[in-house]
Amino acid sequence: MCFASFGEVPAALLKKKVLKVVDGTTTEDAVLVYEAIRLVKPGGLGKVERLDVNDPAFKEKIISEGVSLKEVFAISAEWDAISAEWINGMETIFRLGYPSFKMYLDKEGDVNVATVNTFLRILSEKPDTLITRKAGAKAAHYVSLRAREALDAGGAATPEGRRLCWILDEELHGAGGRLNPGATADLTAASIFVCLLEGVRY
């Protein structure tokens, strides 16, 4: 409604509306999201004791327990960054990723630099939960430290920062998917999307 009327949505208003939608989610929403996840078959989900998405009886269990989509994400928030965003007010997106992207874009005037450095900043401050599930907390913290080293050297904005980015990139690729910072990628994309909705253009 806001975007259709004005062509942009202030971040504060967007956050308010998003949280209202999240708070209003239903059992039907939970079932539909489970069905979508099972259709896409993403990797790295792991298994959980309660309401596992891979459980053939997930629909009956969700309905019988009357669990909303927000309540489902609360179950997995402890080990999944995207789920955590649903219940913590999208904190990483609105308080870290979104302002970081705007800052780097204003400072460097380059969308590629802003994107890479926002990714590095989120990764350096929030160990990636997909890596944690695949390779353990120690590996996730190691990758975060490497991201911090690259960012402290300037990230994509400097020759030394880019060199360290390429080294990190090769190391992550060489791990055969175990060190894939997929949660960080999602958070970065969402942060950029907030900027786009707010009217940022480049």
Mean pLDDT of 163-187: 96
The pLDDT-based confidence of 132 (bands split at 50, 70, 90) is very high
- Do 117 and 71 sit in the same domain of this protein? no
4 domain-assigned: no
- Do 100 and 161 sit in the same domain of this protein? yes
- Do 191 and 101 sit in the same domain of this protein? yes
Residue 68 phi, psi (nearest 5): -80, 170
Mean pLDDT of 123-132: 96
- Do 120 and 173 sit in the same domain of this protein? yes
Please tell me the predicted confidence (pLDDT) of residue 41. Answer: 75
Task: Collect all residues with Cβ–Cβ distance below 8 Å to 185 and sequence separation of at least 6.
Answer: 119
191 domain-assigned: yes
Cα gap 74→89, rounded to integer Å: 12
Mean pLDDT of 26-45: 86
Domain residue limits at 118: 91-197
- Do 102 and 185 sit in the same domain of this protein? yes
43 has a pLDDT exceeding 80: no
| 41 vs 120 pLDDT, higher one | 120
The pLDDT-based confidence of 5 (bands split at 50, 70, 90) is low
164 domain-assigned: yes
Q: How many other C-beta atoms are found inside a 10 Å radius of the C-beta of residue 96?
A: 17
Please tell me the predicted confidence (pLDDT) of residue 53. Answer: 83
Please tell me the predicted confidence (pLDDT) of residue 54. Answer: 83
Cα gap 72→27, rounded to integer Å: 9
3 domain-assigned: no
Please tell me the predicted confidence (pLDDT) of residue 167. Answer: 97
- Mean pLDDT check: name the lowest of 5-9, 51-55, 110-114, 132-136: 5-9
In the chain, how many domains are there?
2
- Do 156 and 190 sit in the same domain of this protein? yes
144 domain-assigned: yes
- Do 77 and 103 sit in the same domain of this protein? no
The pLDDT-based confidence of 82 (bands split at 50, 70, 90) is very high
- Do 132 and 181 sit in the same domain of this protein? yes
- Do 106 and 171 sit in the same domain of this protein? yes
- DSSP 8-state assignment for residue 127: -
- Do 37 and 97 sit in the same domain of this protein? no
Please tell me the predicted confidence (pLDDT) of residue 44. Answer: 60
For tokens 């460097």, name the residue. Answer: 108
Please tell me the predicted confidence (pLDDT) of residue 3. Answer: 54
Residue 90 phi, psi (nearest 5): 55, 45
The pLDDT-based confidence of 6 (bands split at 50, 70, 90) is low
- Do 64 and 121 sit in the same domain of this protein? no
2 has a pLDDT exceeding 60: no
The pLDDT-based confidence of 7 (bands split at 50, 70, 90) is low
